[in-house]
């Protein structure tokens, strides 16, 4: 790509430090990405110059805060090609977005004996909310299976539908294995049966172009902190017709139009689902993160990360006794592995001492680890600021750890 990655790294203060006396290599981007100065400056600038509550004030600061807050909504709308700005709901993150839909959908559309389809590969954030409503309403969860390469069975998915199927909830990309699921085809299949679909897009939006209009999904959830933005902010995209059908998730200020002692008239979209004072500063900074990604170009980000993934598969594959989990033909920039019989926590600790940050454990996807009969994996995940030299450092650290445990 045309961007000089080494120069780009200078925009990320946290990457320009030494850890344990070594230059820092950060390969835990699937958990959270680091933040460029443009995002940090936007966040501090908000508190320095126009901190105020939004929407209800007539004074200058409130008007200014409202303007920049709502401009972030417009940026999100354009970034995912949502048809309408009122279809963009700000939440605390992907988990909050899924919980909103699960709770509100259940209250209006689920009854005992109904069925929900999810995959056995889901992050706990897109599994536990549905487990909760299933227990509350006497609903059955049906799981899409996957094979050794980490590929969902489309035929088995189709076989799960019955006249009791009420919703499908599936991740766009597996956080544990990196598999890119054929969500457009899955959505089309569900819609043929008049079943709505929620997509957990936390691991997709940072790495590839996501067009919710083209996907035709009913709900799409993602988080700012995986997109070089701040923590504590996420998005629920929902088709207007569905958002209008769902009851409010939380009650309080902003989500009401009129309140008397006898009745409540709820606010219009999107505010119907944004109770209370929102996380104004971080939503504003999220807008700066979207600007950052647009400046680089999502297509350029995708190409760069795919090159890193291919290089990582090649270099790590040269290590004796390594086992890579998740070898789907379509993968995002995630590689999970184990070496010999070394526990992932033990190896991860040594890798950390070599100045390289990776994630170890079950990655909030315990059924995936159970499928492979392993305690967890070491996961390296890549972002726009990573280089092939970073991967070489990872390989060096893995080899060093292997020697120590041999």
Percent of the chain with pLDDT over 70: 100
Whether the per-residue pLDDT at 100 is higher than 70: the answer is yes
E-strand stretches of 101-156 = 115-119, 140-144
Q: Between 5 and 181, where is the model more confident?
A: 181
Average pLDDT value for residue range 181-194:
98
pLDDT of residue 252: 85
Find the helix packing angle between 388-405 and 344-353, rounded to 10°.
Answer: 120
CB-neighbour burial class of residue 135 (10 A; exposed 0-12, middle 13-18, buried 19+): exposed
CATH 3.90.1150.10 in the chain, residues?
Answer: 5-30+298-405
pLDDT digits (tens, 9 = 90+) for 278-337: 999 999 999 999 999 999 999 999 999 999 999 999 999 999 999 999 999 999 999 999
pLDDT digits (tens, 9 = 90+) for 259-271: 888 898 888 999 9
Cα gap 392→311, rounded to integer Å: 9
- Do the Cβ atoms of 88 and 235 come closer than 8 Å? yes
Whether the per-residue pLDDT at 78 is higher than 90: the answer is yes
Average pLDDT value for residue range 185-195:
98
CATH 3.40.640.10 in the chain, residues?
Answer: 41-295
CATH number of 5-30+298-405: 3.90.1150.10
Whether the per-residue pLDDT at 154 is higher than 90: the answer is yes
- Do the Cβ atoms of 110 and 141 come closer than 8 Å? no
pLDDT of residue 256: 82
pLDDT of residue 60: 92
Whether the per-residue pLDDT at 4 is higher than 90: the answer is no
pLDDT of residue 40: 98
pLDDT of residue 2: 66
Residue 381 pairs in a beta bridge with 28, 334
Cα gap 135→150, rounded to integer Å: 28
Q: Which of 141, 158, 322, 364 is catalytic?
A: 364
pLDDT of residue 335: 97
Rounded to a whole number of angstroms, the distance between the first and last alpha carbons of the chain is 40
Alpha helices, DSSP H only, in 266-340?
Answer: 280-296, 298-317
Q: Is 217 one of the annotated active-site residues of the chain?
A: no
DSSP 373-392: T-S-EEEEE--TT--HHHHH
pLDDT digits (tens, 9 = 90+) for 199-245: 999 999 999 999 999 999 999 999 999 999 999 999 999 999 999 99
Q: Which CATH code of 3.60.10.10, 3.30.565.10, 3.20.20.80, 3.40.640.10 fits the domain covering 41-295?
A: 3.40.640.10
DSSP 87: G
As a whole number of Å, the CA-based R_g of the chain is: 22
pLDDT of residue 325: 97
CB-hemisphere CA count at 13 Å for 28?
20
């Amino acid at each position: 790509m045309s961007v000089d990655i080494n120069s780009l790294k200078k925009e990320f203060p946290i990457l320009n430090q030494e850890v344990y006396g070594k230059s820092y290599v950060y390969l835990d981007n699937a958990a959270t990405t680091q933040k460029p100065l443009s995002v940090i400056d936007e966040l501090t600038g908000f508190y320095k110059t126009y901190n105020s509550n939004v929407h209800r004030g007539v004074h200058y600061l409130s008007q200014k805060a409202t303007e920049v807050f709502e401009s972030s909504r417009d940026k999100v709308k354009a970034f995912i090609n949502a048809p309408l700005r009122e279809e963009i709901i700000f939440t605390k993150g992907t988990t909050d977005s899924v919980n909103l839909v699960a709770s509100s959908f259940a209250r209006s559309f689920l009854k005992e004996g109904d069925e929900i389809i999810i995959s056995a590969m889901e992050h706990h954030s897109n599994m536990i909310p549905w487990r909760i409503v299933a227990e509350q309403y006497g609903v059955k969860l049906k799981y899409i299976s996957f094979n050794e390469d980490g590929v969902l069975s489309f035929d088995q998915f189709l076989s799960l539908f019955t006249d009791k199927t009420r919703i499908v909830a599936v991740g766009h990309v597996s956080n544990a294995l990196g598999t890119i699921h054929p969500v457009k085809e899955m959505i089309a299949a569900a819609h043929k049966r008049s079943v709505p679909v929620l997509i957990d897009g936390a691991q997709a939006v940072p790495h590839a172009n996501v067009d919710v209009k083209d996907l035709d999904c009913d709900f799409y959830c993602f988080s700012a902190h995986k997109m070089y933005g701040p923590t504590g902010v996420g998005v629920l995209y929902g088709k207007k017709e569905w958002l209008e059908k769902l009851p409010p998730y939380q009650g309080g200020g902003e989500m009401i139009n009129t309140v008397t002692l006898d009745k409540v008239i709820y606010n219009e979209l999107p505010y119907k689902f944004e109770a209370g004072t929102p996380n104004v500063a971080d939503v504003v900074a999220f807008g700066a993160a979207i600007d950052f990604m647009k400046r680089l170009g999502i297509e350029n980000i995708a190409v760069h990360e795919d090159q890193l993934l291919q290089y990582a598969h090649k270099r790590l594959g040269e290590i004796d006794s390594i086992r890579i989990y998740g070898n789907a033909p379509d993968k995002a920039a995630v590689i999970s592995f184990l070496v010999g019989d070394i526990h992932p926590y033990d190896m991860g600790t040594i890798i950390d001492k070599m100045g390289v940050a990776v994630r170890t454990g079950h990655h909030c996807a315990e059924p995936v680890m159970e499928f492979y009969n392993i305690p967890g994996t070491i996961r390296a995940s890549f972002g726009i600021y990573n280089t092939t030299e970073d991967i070489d450092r990872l390989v060096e650290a893995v080899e060093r750890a292997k020697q120590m445990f041999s």
